[in-house]
Amino acid sequence: MSEYSLLLALNLDGAGNDPNDSALAALRAESAGFHGVSFSSDGLLDSVQRASFVAAKTQRIAVLPVIDALFSEPFHTATQLASLDIISHGRAGWILETQNDSVQADAVGRSILPEDQLSTEAADVVTTHRRLWDSWEDDAVIRDEATGRYLDATKLHYADVEGKNFSVKGPAITPRPPQGQLPIIAPVPLFTPDGLQHCRLNGADVVKVNAANLDELLAKAQTASSKGAVAIELDVYLDTAGDTGARRAAEQSVQRTPRAEFIGSVDELISFLKKFAEATANPEDQRRHLVHLHPGELRIDASVLLDEVLPKLKHSNLLAPIGDTLRETFALPVAKNRFQEAS
């Protein structure tokens, strides 16, 4: 097993509606050694707003909004994510989801998509983001006071994306993000011959796998890791000094999620994380793999993760170092600008 291979992200959806609570939880996660924190929309603030607020309050931890790829306007989300990367100085990523339901579709005057079109739609959306992020060359902003020019227009380029359900001309309205290309994490069903690929130019960087149980999850992660970086998601219910994760999971009144569940002790979780690191280790590929943890109860399970799990992991050889950017943390290559390469 290679050293420094594992990345950990903590979902903060249970932090409440006050963004200050999310920021405080993110600061605790940053101090403990988590590589990233994630956010969904909470009904009052969308995920990018929550991530942006937290990005301004933190220094090293990655911010990972969960954003739908089907019924969000690609030009707008590309701009929002580029701005988030600027705010965070290169710590932003995108957890891509496909929320193919009538509520989302009706909100933007569209219809739900047939299942066999999800991967191609997601590929069109990702291609749009990738090309918009490249549409400003790195040195497009010149701020020439003598001539009164802010940018060099010859270094801006049209995205020119023609998707099945939309088209985008471009260029973007914001400069190229600090990372050049934000890391994108997308579900494995979207990686099809006509859909997403492991590709810098038009694909996603990290494939997210899920399964009904932990053994199946490890097997799927091992298979997927042969092609690139992998992310798994876990709902975690951890034992405490006065209670068990199993009891709390059994008494959950809300509907359980389709994510795999880890229920058990701190040492058992660390043992599972070691198995994941071993299953995905590849000496010929140094890209790192992510475990995205969703606390069953944020107040309880996040505290156990922060106060007990992370301190023990710091004394192991499992945790990867935190880079200056999220791309560095994932050990992804520098994202060169396609338009500069072509010129």
Q: What is the mean pLDDT of residues 116-143?
A: 94
Is residue 115 predicted with pLDDT exceeding 80?
A: yes
Residue 144: its pLDDT value, please? 83
For residue 84, give Cα distances in angstroms to 77, 141, 144, 182, 221.
10, 18, 26, 10, 29
> Considering the entire predicted model, what is its pTM?
0.94
Closest CA to 186 of 203, 201, 207, 200: 207
- Give per-residue pLDDT as tens, 22-44: 999 999 999 999 999 999 987 77
Distance of CA 240 to the CA centre of its chain: 29
Residue 1: its pLDDT value, please? 42
d(CA 20, CA 129): 30
- Give per-residue pLDDT as tens, 259-271: 999 999 999 999 9
Residue 255: its pLDDT value, please? 61
Are the CB atoms for 25 and 63 separated by under 8 Å? no
Question: Tokens 């199993």 map to which residue?
Answer: 246
Residue 210: its pLDDT value, please? 94
221: confidence class by pLDDT, cuts 50, 70, 90? very high
Q: What is the mean pLDDT of residues 272-281?
A: 94
47-57 vs 19-32: helix crossing angle, rounded to 10: 60
Is residue 330 predicted with pLDDT exceeding 50?
A: yes
329: confidence class by pLDDT, cuts 50, 70, 90? very high
The DSSP annotation for 15-42 comes to G-S-HHHHHHHHHHHHHHT-SEEEE---
Is residue 238 predicted with pLDDT exceeding 80?
A: yes
Q: What is the mean pLDDT of residues 328-336?
A: 94
- Give per-residue pLDDT as tens, 78-102: 999 999 999 999 999 999 999 888 8
Q: Which residues face 95 on adjacent strands? A: 66, 185
